[in-house]
Each structure stands twice: as structure tokens, then as C-alpha cells.
Amino acid sequence: MQKTFRTLVLAFIFLSGCVGDESITKMDVEMFNSNGDSLGTVKLTEEPEGVGLKVTLEGLPSGELGIHVHEFPNCEAPEFKTSGNHFNPDNVDHGLMHPDGAHAGDLPNLIVDSGKVDVELVGPQLTLKKGQKGSLFSQKGTSLIITSQRDDGMTQPSGDSGERIACGKITEEEAERKDKNVIEPEEE
Ligand SMILES: [Zn+2]
């Protein structure tokens, strides 16, 4: 009897320990194209220098493509307009090369070869910590968008980066979702 009680107490401590820890330090964002096809995931990780983004995708058009964090957690295909503008909590100009930039959501271009990309990026103004400036969970979350052209790093408001062709939601719901299509990186 006493042993059962002790087991229950231990189980309670264990469970409450899990529930009490609300901060997300990493998550996978599944990306979908305008047809609703899954392209793989972008793995977000809280790092000392910002948020790391491990982009492992396939089924993209080859070439140099823009990738940005957008302000709303909406991915309505086919145009993904409801994701809003680039995530820009500081209300500054667009562009990693702009003297009055850049948006927190501005990221280096992706180089896609044979439809595939496997690269790590860093968003130095981003964090996964809730309630902090640059939090990807500001409001109800944000989204990650890939565009059909490269971002020139300078042109307002979005680097002349073409159409929005893929989207993934950065939300707590997405962080908890298990059934994602993860593309394994190829051996180098
Ligand atoms: Zn921007």
C-alpha cells in the first residue's frame, strides 16, 4: 500500500515537471507548397546567437530562393497572402544589406540544387522565448515563407523576391504535432 502511494507521488512529480516547463527550445516546422504537398521540415533551435534554422527540404524549384519569417501564423494556399508581411517588430527597413535594416524575419537566400536544400541559417534577432522581443511566438505565432526569386537584400518591402511558393507555421500547436514528413539529409 505504502509502495503504491510512493509510486503515485513520484509519477505526479514527474508529470507536473513536464507540464510546468512551457518554454520551447526547439521545434520542427513542416513546409508545404501551394498544392499542399509537404516539402520536409525546418528545424528551429534556440541558440546563444539567435534562432538556428536547419532547412532540409526537397521538391523546390532549383536556384536561389528567398526565405523569410512572416508576421502571422497563417498558411492559406495557394498565395499565402494571409501570412502578412515580413516579421518586423522593430519597424525598420527590409534587407540584410540595407543600412536601415534588417527585418527580424530577414534571412540569407537558399541555394536549391536539383530541388533540394540542406543548410543551416541563423536569425540573430529571433528567439523562441515567449514574451521577449523578436519572439517567434509573438501574437499567436509567425510563419516561414519561401519565395520564387532571390531576395536582393535591399528593395522594399521584401527584396523583390517574387511569389510566395511554400509556407510553414511557427506555432505551439505545430511544435507539439508529431506526424511530420522529415526529409533525411543526404550523406556528404
Ligand atoms: Zn524583410
Ligand 1 centroid to 167 CA: how many Å? 16
Cα–Cα nearest to 166, from 120, 103, 97, 112: 112
Supply angle C-alpha 46, 118, 24, rounded to 5: 20
pTM greater than the 0.85 cutoff = yes
Match 515580413 to its residue by C-alpha cell: 86
Ligand 1 centroid to 103 CA: how many Å? 5
At 17-31, the pLDDT tens digits run 454 456 899 999 999
Q: Report whether pLDDT(119) > 50.
A: yes
Ligand 1 centroid to 158 CA: how many Å? 5
Cα–Cα nearest to 31, from 120, 178, 143, 161: 143
Ligand 1 centroid to 41 CA: how many Å? 22
Burial grade of 181 (CB within 10 A; 0-12, 13-18, 19 or more): middle
CATH number of 23-176: 2.60.40.200
Ligand 1 centroid to 106 CA: how many Å? 5
Mean pLDDT over the full length of the chain: 91
> Can you tell me the distance from the alpha carbon of 104 to that of 100, in angstroms, rounded to the nearest whole number?
12
Ligand 1 centroid to 117 CA: how many Å? 21
Cα–Cα nearest to 68, from 139, 162, 131, 133: 162
Ligand 1 centroid to 74 CA: how many Å? 17
Q: What percent of the chain has pLDDT over 90?
A: 83
- Report residues near ion ligand 1: CB below 5 Å: 86, 94, 103, 106
Ligand 1 centroid to 2 CA: how many Å? 61
Ligand 1 centroid to 3 CA: how many Å? 59
Match 519597424 to its residue by C-alpha cell: 91
Ligand 1 centroid to 146 CA: how many Å? 12
Question: Do strands 50-57 and 117-123 pair parallel, antiparallel, or not at all (unpaired)?
Answer: antiparallel
- Span 23-46, average pLDDT: 97
> Can you tell me the distance from the alpha carbon of 76 to that of 80, in angstroms, rounded to the nearest whole number?
5
CB distance 85 to 71 below 8 Å: yes
> Can you tell me the distance from the alpha carbon of 149 to that of 42, in angstroms, rounded to the nearest whole number?
19
- Span 39-49, average pLDDT: 97
